[in-house]
Chains A and B, each alone.
Chain A
């Protein structure tokens, strides 16, 4: 048997019964619509809760960053004085500066290394002598004043320095001034009578940060005999007779005040 189209139509229509109960269909349709509404509302509520949690988390995270911004703004005002205030979280940490990208170098940013070694001090190649101290334009300079006990250099006989480094952060124009003075320092040694640095060593590490937060260079020098300062640059450079800019002398002096002991020299403008 090979069914024709009419046979197929007849077979399909066979058994066509009564219609649907419209009331029954409506009841089920209303229930289905209500369930759909509940599902949509539940999904919207879940979305709102998740979004609220996300926004709240982001707000809390940003409020932490704003706190550092606020401290940086306060530091900006303070720098106009210039008056330095101890950092709230690190006992020996100071913060100062004008302008710059505050927040990027906030509380979670640069910190002084616990100790440092001067063993990577300077190569003496000609190219090293001519090269720049900092590899990138410097926006932030972090100064870390170490006691000799934390430095790897030989310790003096007696110092009253704290075990943790004192930290000072310079931003913007002040950072640029300091970096510029280092760049301008002589690359040639000059004959100057100097005290024995080893016995009065108070290492100062200056870490320059670029605008993107990366380290542009690290400089090691000594605070106690600035006239004889040999600036060792981490990347193998050496500069001689560096003196800090006059405008920063007071600011840098603050770094030393709590550590001053009898017989130590307070930095002053250097005459070489």
Chain B
């Protein structure tokens, strides 16, 4: 009954973006995979009734992430030690750039789940404030204030970490 071909096509087209967004939301590679699988399973069940699959997938992803972060036994444990990343073959500039990215990703993992969702949707998925608000089910003003607060925390953290 389900349009499995359509679902497969959607996964092949948007899977990479959704998986990376899930990794950013969870801060962990494996939990990101679990998260995107959970969201896609929910989509699969309702596939025939979904008009706009990508926004639906983003919303399912964020909701599943926030639901999981609310469970105590699934509580997030931010860590200071990041997994080792293969060093690039460039010079010092590349190393500095890589360090900054790692630092930003580490700081992102320390944000609250909703703040992280706003940052990921706004700056990774490139959604507007209105679309972000629609995806998260919150007012635009709340998105603005949450985003501003999250960016401020990132700046402070990175600045303090750099000094």
Q: Known contacts A25-B11, A28-B37, A36-B45; is A12 also within 8 Å of B124 by CB? A: yes
Interface centre among B4, B8, B17, B44 (most CB of A within 10 A): B44
Q: Write the nearest CB–CB distance from A7 to chain B, whole angstroms.
A: 7
Q: How large is the interface on B (under 10, 10 to 19, 20 to 34, 35 or more residues)?
A: 35 or more
Closest to B46 in A: A33
Q: Does B117 contact A (CB under 8 A)?
A: no
Identify the B interface with A (CB < 8 A): 4, 7-8, 11-12, 15-20, 23-24, 36-37, 40-41, 43-45, 85, 100-101, 104-105, 108, 119-120, 123-124, 151, 154-155, 158-159, 162
Stretch of A16-24, A103-111, A220-228, A260-268 at the chain-chain interface: A16-24
Q: Known contacts A2-B159, A7-B100; is A33 also within 8 Å of B20 by CB? A: no
Q: List 30 A-B contacts (CB under 8 A).
A: A1-B162, A2-B159, A3-B100, A3-B104, A7-B100, A7-B104, A8-B104, A8-B151, A12-B108, A12-B124, A16-B17, A16-B20, A19-B11, A19-B19, A20-B18, A20-B36, A22-B8, A22-B15, A25-B15, A26-B44, A28-B37, A28-B40, A29-B40, A29-B41, A29-B43, A29-B44, A30-B44, A32-B44, A33-B41, A33-B44
Q: Write the nearest CB–CB distance from B156 to chain A, whole angstroms.
A: 9
Contact partner of A25 (CB less than 8 A), chosen from B37, B100, B120, B124, is B37
Q: Give bound CA distance, A18 to B41, whole Å.
A: 20
Closest to A24 in B: B37
Contact partner of A8 (CB less than 8 A), chosen from B20, B37, B154, B162, is B154
Q: Does A192 contact B (CB under 8 A)?
A: no
B16 x A19 contact (CB < 8 A):
yes
Q: Known contacts A3-B155, A7-B100; is A19 also within 8 Å of B15 by CB? A: yes
Closest to A18 in B: B16
B45 x A22 contact (CB < 8 A):
no
Which residues of the partner chain A approach B12 to less than 8 Å between Cβ atoms? 19-20, 22
Q: Write the nearest CB–CB distance from B39 to chain A, whole angstroms.
A: 10
20 extra interface residue pairs, beta carbon distance < 8 Å, beyond A18-B16, A19-B11 = A3-B155, A3-B158, A7-B100, A7-B104, A8-B123, A11-B105, A12-B24, A12-B104, A12-B105, A12-B108, A14-B101, A19-B12, A20-B19, A22-B11, A26-B4, A26-B11, A28-B40, A29-B37, A29-B40, A32-B45
Which residues of the partner chain B approach A9 to less than 8 Å between Cβ atoms? 123-124
Listed from nearest, the 8 A-B pairs whose CB atoms lie closest are A20-B15, A29-B44, A32-B41, A19-B16, A11-B104, A19-B15, A11-B101, A12-B124
Looking at chain A's contact residues, the main secondary structure is helix
Q: Give bound CA distance, A248 to B16, whole Å.
A: 94
Closest to B10 in A: A22
Q: Known contacts A7-B104, A36-B45; is A17 also within 8 Å of B20 by CB? A: yes
